[in-house]
Amino acid sequence: MKTLYIIRHAKSSWDYDVSDEMRPLNKRGFNDAELIGKELKTLIKPIDKILSSPAVRAHSTAKIVIEHLDVDKDIFSLEPNLYDFGGQDVIEVIKNCDDTINTLMVFGHNHALTSIANLYGSKKIDNLPTAGVVEIEFDTDHWKKITVGKTLLTIFPKSLR
């Protein structure tokens, strides 16, 4: 079995004259990331690897969420190919993970993550909102062989506020 958690970055700010990759979280983004981290703490399986887009908003979301989880910080790394909005690069990153990783958490961007949730999950999602989480379980022992799995969990910050 392989389990994938995909988490869209929390709400970002447009108040700064910076490149897209450098946009920070706004106040709601920080709050929503905290809510998600606290909620996930009791719901998730032990995580083997956490990957994040290097974009400031995704990396910040990951750091906040991880603070609430009982994980070794060494399992976290930035993955430049997760700064992807279409999804193909994200899928390639996932499928190229080592098979010793059974539970993977990925922080990234839309429309990539909504597309992946719908392509690989069993539950249709119109739009994965900022700081939204989807858990998909795959009946395989090899990331390269993942196909449609079972959506086990969806958490959206709006339902936690």
pLDDT at 72 over 90: yes
Residues 6+ apart with CB under 8 A from 59: 52, 53, 78, 107
Categorize the per-residue pLDDT at 161 as very low, low, confident or very high, splitting at 50, 70 and 90.
confident
pLDDT digit string (tens) for 104-115? 999 999 999 999
**Residue 93, token pair as written in the block:** 């990153």
Q: What is the pLDDT of residues 83-124, one digit of tens each?
A: 999 999 999 999 999 999 999 999 999 999 999 999 999 999
- Model-level pTM? 0.97
Mean pLDDT of 133-144: 98
Question: Contact 139/149 with Cβ under 8 angstroms?
Answer: yes
Residue 14: pLDDT band with limits 50, 70, 90: very high
pLDDT band at 24 (very low <50, low <70, confident <90, very high): very high
